């Protein structure tokens, strides 16, 4: 297994910040991964997917592991369902496209989310009322400390909104993920945006739903290849009913969604916009003018510059509204 030295990570993160990894390795299977982990037990480790949800503020004095396991395999099927396993390095949207083409329902609402299959359980990716955890049956990993292979059933993954055991503990390298999908499909009208894009077609096919989502996302979100970004930068805050009441007294139009347990989700984008940051630019960093949740890089290669701007947005939203926004994006 080849280990490279002093590798520039700029091409490996969608914010395009510069940082050098002292050691870098791309294991093609679980055996190679265990071997590399056993060879460097003392090194600090960082696991890298396709780099759409992270950026670097400094060089990494340790070992960057970029899993390279490929392949989409059929595990079993019956008349109603199919179970597939995909390697960590498979492109997420390629997997979604493949499932839609084959008529397998479950992942279509997650069309065009950039990234790798291996990262999908980490923050339990979600969009258009669907979370990937709803389709995952098993996550296969290699333990960073012991180099041992492990498998996590859905219950063991501790999935919640943009969260999982893998995000909390960061001690497993995901090598492959299993998904159970349906062979029939019924569209559920959950999102006004999506239904409008479908021209009120109440019985769309999987492909029609995928294409509609691709059109909406392409219009709404900046392309990281043209304007470097990492998608939604902050999680939507969850408020207690007391927090909700005091915020509504300042912002009567505050969007609110019940999440159970007398908690309320609100919109981070709305708070950033109200704080006056939508479209704001500070040097070479800014908030996207079409969508306040997206921090964009107008040309810096310094992750510290981006991190300083992120802190400013957090502090200003906190000063004005008493809510500390929590980044969804990893800052290394
Ligand atoms: C334009 C844009 C739109 C986006 N829209 C959405 C959206 O709608 N919904 C959504 O949920 N997200 C969205 N995102 C965020 C991003 O697409 C997801 O977080 C995606 O899962 C990132 O995948 P990645 O392979 O690039 O992960 P990376 O950014 O490389 O890594 C993300 C985290 O996962 C860890 N990780 C990566 N691979 C592995 C592995 N094999 N094993 C263990 N840990 C691993 C990393 O250490 C890191 O902590 C968007 C991003 C962009 C740029």
Domain ranges of the chain: 4-65, 72-220, 229-331
Q: Residue 43: pLDDT above 90? A: yes
Average pLDDT of the segment spanning 127-142: 96
Q: What is the mean pLDDT of the chain?
A: 96
pLDDT reported for residue 316? 98
Ligand 1 atom, smallest distance to 330 CA: 49
Q: Residue 199: pLDDT above 90? A: no
DSSP 194: H
Fold held by 4-65 = 3.30.43
Task: Report which secondary-structure segment, H or E, holds 310.
Answer: helix 303-321
Q: Residue 129: pLDDT above 80? A: yes
Residues with catalytic function: 162, 232, 328
Ligand 1 atom, smallest distance to 46 CA: 47
pLDDT reported for residue 260? 80
| Domain 72-220 grouped into CATH 3.30.465.10 | yes
Fold held by 229-331 = 3.90.78
Q: DSSP letters along 101-134, please?
A: HTT-BSSGGGTT--SBTTTTTTTT-EETTEEGGG
Ligand 1 atom, smallest distance to 127 CA: 8
Q: Residue 189: pLDDT above 90? A: no
Ligand 1: centre distance to CA 52 (Å): 5
Ligand 1: centre distance to CA 37 (Å): 22
Nearest residue by C-alpha to atom 22 in ligand 1: 115
Average pLDDT of the segment spanning 278-289: 97
Q: Residue 24: pLDDT above 90? A: yes
Q: Is the CB of 173 under 6 A from ligand 1?
A: yes
**How far, in Å, are 29, 123, 152, 221, 298 from residue 226 at the CA level?**
33, 25, 37, 11, 10
pLDDT reported for residue 142? 98
How sure is the predictor about 191, in pLDDT bands with cuts at 50, 70 and 90? confident
Q: Residue 60: pLDDT above 90? A: yes
Considering the entire predicted model, what is its pTM?
0.94
Average pLDDT of the segment spanning 244-266: 93
Q: Is the CB of 52 under 6 A from ligand 1?
A: yes
Nearest residue by C-alpha to atom 31 in ligand 1: 49
Average pLDDT of the segment spanning 47-51: 98
List, in sequence order, every residue forming a beta bridge with 20; answer none if it has no partner.
8
Ligand 1: centre distance to CA 125 (Å): 8
How sure is the predictor about 5, in pLDDT bands with cuts at 50, 70 and 90? very high
pLDDT reported for residue 10? 98
Ligand 1 atom, smallest distance to 14 CA: 53
Q: Residue 214: pLDDT above 90? A: yes
Ligand 1: centre distance to CA 241 (Å): 31
For the chain, how many residues are written?
332
E runs forming strands in 154-270:
172-182, 229-232, 238-240, 256-260, 263-266
Query: CA–CA separation, 151 vs 145, rounded Å?
Result: 15
pLDDT reported for residue 2? 84
């Amino acid at each position: 297994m080849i280990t490279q030295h002093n590798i520039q990570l700029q091409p490996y993160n969608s914010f395009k910040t510069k940082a050098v990894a002292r050691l870098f390795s791309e294991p093609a299977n679980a055996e190679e991964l265990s071997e590399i982990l056993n060879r460097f037990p003392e090194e600090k480790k960082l696991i890298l997917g396709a780099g759409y949800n992270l950026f670097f503020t400094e060089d990494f004095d340790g070992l960057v592991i970029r899993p390279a396991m490929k392949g989409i395999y059929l595990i079993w099927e019956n008349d109603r369902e199919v179970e597939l396993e995909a390697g960590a390095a498979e492109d997420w949207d390629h997997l979604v496209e493949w499932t839609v083409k084959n008529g397998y329902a479950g992942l279509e609402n997650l069309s065009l989310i950039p990234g790798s299959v291996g990262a999908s359980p980490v923050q339990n990716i979600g969009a258009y009322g669907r979370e990937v955890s709803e389709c995952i049956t098993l996550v296969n990993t290699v333990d960073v400390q012991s180099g041992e292979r492990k498998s996590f059933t859905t219950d063991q993954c501790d999935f919640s909104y943009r969260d999982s055991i893998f995000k909390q503990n960061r001690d497993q390298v995901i090598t492959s993920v299993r998904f159970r999908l349906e062979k029939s499909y019924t569209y559920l009208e959950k999102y006004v945006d999506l239904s409008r894009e479908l021209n009120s077609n109440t019985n769309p096919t999987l492909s029609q739903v995928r294409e509609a989502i691709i059109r909406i996302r392409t219009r709404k979100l900046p392309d990281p290849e043209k304007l470097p970004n990492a998608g939604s930068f902050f999680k939507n805050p969850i408020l207690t009913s007391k927090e909700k009441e005091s915020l509504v007294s300042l912002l009567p139009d505050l969007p609110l969604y019940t999440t159970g347990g007398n908690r309320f989700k609100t919109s981070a984008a709305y708070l950033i916009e109200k704080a006056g940051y939508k479209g704001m630019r500070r040097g070479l960093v800014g908030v996207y003018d079409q969508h306040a949740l997206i921090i964009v890089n107008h040309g810096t290669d310094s992750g510290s510059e981006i991190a300083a701007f992120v802190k400013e947005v957090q502090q200003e939203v906190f000063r004005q509204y008493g809510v500390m926004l929590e980044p969804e994006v990893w800052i290394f």
